[in-house]
Structure 1
Amino acid sequence: MNLEQRKVWNENHKALTGMLGRPDKHSEAADLFLEQHRWLYASREAGGLATYEDVIMNTLGEQTFRAYPVRTSASRNSIAWHLWHAARIEDITMNVLISGREQILHSGGFADKLNTRFIHSGNGMDESEIAELSSVLSFEALPDYRLAVAERTRSIIAGLSAAELKTRVSARRLNQVKEQEAVKATEQWLLDYWGGKTAAGLVLMPATRHNFLHLNKSMQVKVKLEKQPARQ
């Protein structure tokens, strides 16, 4: 996914925003969502066009993946944190809030596979926690987790009706997120934010836009570190 393709992605996201939840545009919106979402995750298909995650992960060294802090114009966080956080947010919102299902983190055994004690969304972590996550997060398991989250999201959204996309998040499911400790106790504002959203709103942010923004930040980190001379 090159710069021109990212510009097209942004334009298509604007179009998706105008279509989601409209009964007369439902089929078109679902197809566009699936296409937009596909660009954000590793393709794992030989000979296909490189997605945004492909561009970041291809040739990415583990040292660059874990580097923290990295001072860019948008963030100090590591690529490890950005890719993990984006997937955690999508896992929580798509599975618990929209479909009422178990998180992929738990159903797929990734709470152990990812090799980190953190099971929340990543919001509100202090510097020592981000440093810990960046140093221990499984370099091998994270792409598998992200792909599992992506596949579940696509199946969920493809099965929603236009009416269901207009449905607001229920208080019961927000409470489930709290009970599962998927959001830190200090970050309950996030539940309030999600509680004001419809399913369509969650599809737009975080399932597409939020992930895209964190891929942008990951790319900035990669570009900056690759420009620096290797440490002896």
Structure 2
Amino acid sequence: MNKDWSEKNKEIQKLLSKEATFGEAIKKLIEFREELFQQITWIVEGYPEEAFYQAPFAGADGVHSTTLAFSIWHTFRIEDIVAHEMIAVDEQILFKEKYLKKIASPIITTANELRGEEITEFSKKLNIKELYLYTKAVKESSDKILLELQYKDLKRKFGEDTKEKLIKSKCVSEDEEAFWLIDYWCGKDVKGLIQMPFSRHWIMHIEAMQRIKNQLCKIARKGADPVAICGLSCNHCFLGAWCGGCRTEYNVCSFATCSEGRICPNVKCCNEKNIDGCYECSELETCEKGFFVPSNDGANAAKAQSLYIRKYGKKEFLKVQTRLHEKHEFQKVQEVLGRDYKEALKILEET
């Protein structure tokens, strides 16, 4: 488990245990959930549709053996069911806001019962944009429920009537891989539900999603040119685990995700000019498009790298990048190359 997330979760659970710190615990839990949810937002906004039904670890032992779509659906169906059928005792968001039809899901369950190819086929059917909106609505609804809780509510338990209600709802499959959930949930008090579906369960599946998307990016980059169109090295980029590079469908470079149609201005310009990259452009030195916009503190460092490629070629550029990373400890190349592209080029040539 992510060490930082684990520590935050432990602190929250500790604070939940005392009435004097209960309010602080809820505040920190909601903040933590917001931090975790941002990971889902980045994944949904950053990756192509095909990414959500790929299972790069299919057959592996663990929650990462599924798909991104499955992970999102499963995590928030459980929260929706637990939050509304058990804690708030009202209508689930899936039905109340008619998300089932919007998402185009063939099931209303947690999907625990699905196996192998069934997971892939299920994932292909989902409208990811609507699924994301559903997850956001569930999160916001749950946060509201959390804020309305009092410390005394934490000890509330659930009896046979709740079990019967869950069974009757058909939201948990009768399959042995799923049906145990009802006994598991009903064996908890409200505090126990907050500790698992509302927090730890999120961590488990978001970490699984990170593993899945990292592997998908790794697969996408295999055989792809590691030199970005703007002149950066995807092999040495600190976003390497997140990004497949601008020459693949898994491009999550900031200038792509923030631009119209998710196409980086440098990529668009080079495509229009029918050139391989900015290093082939005669206007490079004066260019202020995309990554080279003056407000970007890494603009001139990137420009220097493109100039180095123009002068020495891609192979030498990748070699000098490796030497640069061996010599210095940094994330962003401008930390070493500075903000003057002529001086930056000299540093590269002398490395």
Q: Structure 2-normalised TM-score?
A: 0.59
Letter in structure 1 aligned against 2:20: D
Equivalent residues of 1:21, 1:163 under 8 A apart = no
- Post-superposition Cα deviations, 1:107-153, rounded to whole Å, max 9, x if no partner, equal 01011111011101111212243122111111110110000000100
Aligned to 1:105: 94
Q: Aligned equivalents of 1:189 and 1:139: distance in 2?
A: 28
Unaligned runs of 5+ in 1: 42-50
Q: Aligned equivalents of 1:170 and 1:21: distance in 2?
A: 23
Query: Please, which moves more after superposition, 126-135 or 86-95?
Result: 126-135
| Structure 2 counterpart SS, 1:39 | helix
Root-mean-square deviation (CA, aligned residues, Å) is 2.0
Say which structure, 1 or 2, has more relative contact order (CA 8 Å, 6+ apart): 1
Aligned to 2:200: 209
- Post-superposition Cα deviations, 1:85-124, rounded to whole Å, max 9, x if no partner, equal 0010110111111111111110010111110111011112
Aligned to 1:84: 73
Letter in structure 2 aligned against 1:219: Q
Kindly report which structure 2 residues correspond to 1:182-221, keeping only aligned pairs within 5 A, or say none: 182-186=171-175, 187-221=178-212
| Structure 1 counterpart SS, 2:157 | coil
Of 192, 217, 234, the residue aligned with 1:226 is 217
Of 107, 116, 119, the residue aligned with 2:108 is 119
Q: Aligned equivalents of 2:111 and 2:220: distance in 1?
A: 31
Q: Aligned equivalents of 1:133 and 1:141: distance in 2?
A: 15
Q: Aligned equivalents of 2:80 and 2:169: distance in 1?
A: 13
- Post-superposition Cα deviations, 1:187-208, rounded to whole Å, max 9, x if no partner, equal 3211111111011111110111
Equivalent residues of 1:68, 1:134 under 8 A apart = no
Deviation, 1:230, is 6.7
Q: Aligned equivalents of 1:15 and 1:211: distance in 2?
A: 16
Tell me whether 1:66 sits opposite 2:53 in the alignment. Answer: yes
Letter in structure 1 aligned against 2:40: E
Equivalent residues of 1:21, 1:166 under 8 A apart = no
Deviation, 1:73, is 6.7
Of 27, 33, 38, the residue aligned with 2:34 is 38
Aligned to 1:24: 20
| Structure 1 counterpart SS, 2:46 | coil
Tell me whether 1:10 sits opposite 2:10 in the alignment. Answer: no
Deviation, 1:28, is 1.1
Kindly report which structure 2 residues correspond to 1:47-66, keeping only aligned pairs within 5 A, or say none: 51-66=38-53
Q: Structure 1-normalised TM-score?
A: 0.87
Kindly report which structure 2 residues correspond to 1:159-174, keeping only aligned pairs within 5 A, or say none: 159-174=148-163
Equivalent residues of 2:56, 2:216 under 8 A apart = no
Work out which of the two has the higher radius of gyration on C-alpha atoms and give 1 or 2: 2
Aligned to 1:142: 131
